[in-house]
Amino acid sequence: MKFQVFREGKLVNDFTLSGAYLFGTDGISIRRAKITFADGGIDCLRPNLETAGLALLWPIEGFGRVLLPTTCLPERDRPYVLNIELARAKLMQITNRREDWSFFDSLEGMEEISKQSQEQFIKAVQSIQDAPAASQLADESLRKATVYSEKLAGRQGRLVFDRRRKSHGFGRGCLGCRIDPNLIATPQYLDKALEFFASVTLPINWARVEPRQGHFDFSVIDSCMTALSRRKVVISAGPLLYFAHDHLPDWLLRSGVGFEKIRELAYQFVSKVVARYAQVVHRWCVISGLNAFNQFNFNFEQILEMTRAANMAVRAAGSRAIRIVEVSSPWGEYYATTPNSIPPFVYMDMVVQSGTSFDAFGLQMRFGKDEVGMHLRDMMHISSLLDCFAPIAKPLYVTDVEIPSKNGRGKFHPDVAGVWHRKWEPTRQSQWLERFYKIALSKPYVEAVNYGSLADGGSNAIADSGLLTEALEPKESFDTLKRLCLSMFGRA
């Protein structure tokens, strides 16, 4: 399967394949696929001839640079025009979302843009023999369709959010923020965290808590729990288990032990932590990202067994807190290249069907880095993904949201990570977060949204993503979320 890539009606000589992957009709990324660019075209090789789609970071004039998919297309000798296929997919997404949402009201001032987008796409298809001209029509169609889809997703989200707000459908602790244990002793930091957030998440890292086998250092966590327990705040903690390299103790990584021993050690660690803080923690992120991060290469059965054992350990340790199983990279791009990983919805279905006792799923949604799962998506794409959780018989916590407040470098550069409109800045971060929160909280099964970084600093997954500067000065996004809280609860 091949795609010609045009920019301003001309074949491009240079194109960076940021975030590119192939996916099948089930939405699952395809393994053993190879995607290359040369001579104005993208060549996609895959292990079978079934229909497939291509997703990649794509620039849209006036809107920014976001990761977009094509529709699933059959193999053919003649190359597709990528510009046309991206526009086709966006228009199909708009139609499908309007039907799913039963949203047929007109958007004031936007219906003409929607009509123009469709007309230009039809002209592009009719002009396919003149690929350069067709690509320009498709570019304009995609630009208008993306603007329209953003407005549509935002309007639908606001309407349902307002209905939920007026019916008092939001519980205590539905707005939260992850805090840095090293800053909690700073009075200004904690005061800002609790200025309007009714929930805070305290990270727990196995590697730091048990640096030597059987020797635990709870000093930092103890001081944090003491400070937080004095306040009327919902305390979340975790993840207790996260099988990525920097969260695993060196002694365990070097041990060479098998799965049974690792499960035993993990069970003991979870039991130890939970028993110590069972009386103050309201929510445990029990296990995180095992669908994507699997340092020990557990097989499917072992992944499921580790998830089950960790949740059992929490309950056995005497905690009645909510137990959350957190999912990383919800679009599942990692599955194409990461051995012994499981597509996110397959993992979630496995956990539910296995009868594992837990209370909710958590979802990480970080954007703004050239890394699998972190390339920027548009709001309709985000809303569509959240809709996929509706059939799952468990509440959903959006546990970790991050977005930058200024353009970064390297992996954080907008050209390879994505950008909303022209550049990242505090106002742009604020506007993006307001739209995201209203869309996410418009879903009745979303119990809470937790921001991933209160203040800028070296520990953030996304550079410059804090709601506060490193000097702990509020950014516009902090004030925006404070106003949102006031509108939801009549207080700040």
CA distances from 23 to 32, 37, 389, 488 (A): 11, 18, 19, 39
Mean pLDDT of 245-263: 96
Beta partners for residue 237, in sequence order: 202, 284
Angle at 246 between CA 227 and CA 314, to 5 degrees: 55
Residue 26: CB partners within 8 Å, gap ≥ 6? none
CA dihedral 388, 390, 393, 396 (to 10 degrees): 80
Taking only the tens place, the pLDDT of each residue in 158-181 is 999 999 999 999 988 999 999 999
Taking only the tens place, the pLDDT of each residue in 144-160 is 999 999 999 999 999 99
Taking only the tens place, the pLDDT of each residue in 79-112 is 999 999 999 999 999 999 989 888 766 677 778 8
DSSP 118-130: HHHHHHHHHTTTS
- The alpha helices in 17-110, defined as continuous H runs, are 82-101
Mean pLDDT of 417-443: 96
Bond from prior residue into 239 cis (ω within 30 degrees of 0): yes
Q: Give the whole-angstrom CA distance, residue 155 versus residue 190.
A: 35
Q: What's the pLDDT score for residue 492?
A: 41
| For residue 283, pLDDT beyond 60 | yes
| For residue 71, pLDDT beyond 50 | yes
Q: Give the whole-angstrom CA distance, residue 149 versus residue 381.
A: 9
| Token pair belonging to 108 | 């004031």
| For residue 232, pLDDT beyond 90 | no
Instruction: Report the run of H or E that residue 491 belongs to, with start and end.
Output: none
Taking only the tens place, the pLDDT of each residue in 325-373 is 999 999 999 999 998 899 999 999 999 999 999 999 999 999 999 999 9
Beta partners for residue 267, in sequence order: none
Instruction: Report the run of H or E that residue 176 belongs to, with start and end.
Output: strand 175-178
Give all strands of the β-sheet with 80-81 in edge-to-edge order. 34-38, 41-45, 2-4, 80-81
CA distances from 7 to 14, 66, 87, 131, 195 (A): 10, 16, 14, 11, 48
CA 98 to chain centre: 23
Q: Give the whole-angstrom CA distance, residue 87 versus residue 70.
A: 8
- Spatial contact of 214 and 235, defined as CB atoms under 8 Å apart: no
Mean pLDDT of 406-419: 96
- Spatial contact of 404 and 48, defined as CB atoms under 8 Å apart: no
Q: What's the pLDDT score for residue 176?
A: 96
> Look-up: residue for tokens 């050239």?
370
| For residue 122, pLDDT beyond 80 | yes
Q: Which domains does the chain have, with CATH numbers?
A: 2-161 (no CATH), 168-489 (3.20.20.80)
**Amino acid residing at 183:** L
**pLDDT tier at 378, thresholds 50, 70, 90:** very high
- Spatial contact of 98 and 104, defined as CB atoms under 8 Å apart: yes
Taking only the tens place, the pLDDT of each residue in 176-212 is 999 999 999 898 999 999 999 999 999 999 999 999 9
Beta partners for residue 4, in sequence order: 41, 81
| For residue 491, pLDDT beyond 70 | no
CA distances from 93 to 120, 123, 197, 367, 388 (A): 17, 19, 35, 21, 14
Query: Within 10 Å of residue 96's Cβ, how many Cβ atoms?
Result: 11
Q: Give the whole-angstrom CA distance, residue 203 versus residue 205.
A: 7
CA distances from 451 to 55, 130, 179, 231, 367 (A): 27, 48, 9, 19, 12
- The average confidence (pLDDT) of the chain is 94
Q: Give the whole-angstrom CA distance, residue 109 versus residue 383.
A: 22
Angle between helical axes of 426-441 and 131-166 (0-180°, round to 10): 60
- Spatial contact of 152 and 97, defined as CB atoms under 8 Å apart: yes
Percent of the chain with pLDDT strictly greater than 90: 90
Least confident interval from 48-62, 90-104, 120-134, 330-344:
90-104
Q: pTM value?
A: 0.94
Residue 66: CB partners within 8 Å, gap ≥ 6? 57, 58, 60, 146, 375, 376, 377, 378, 381, 418, 420
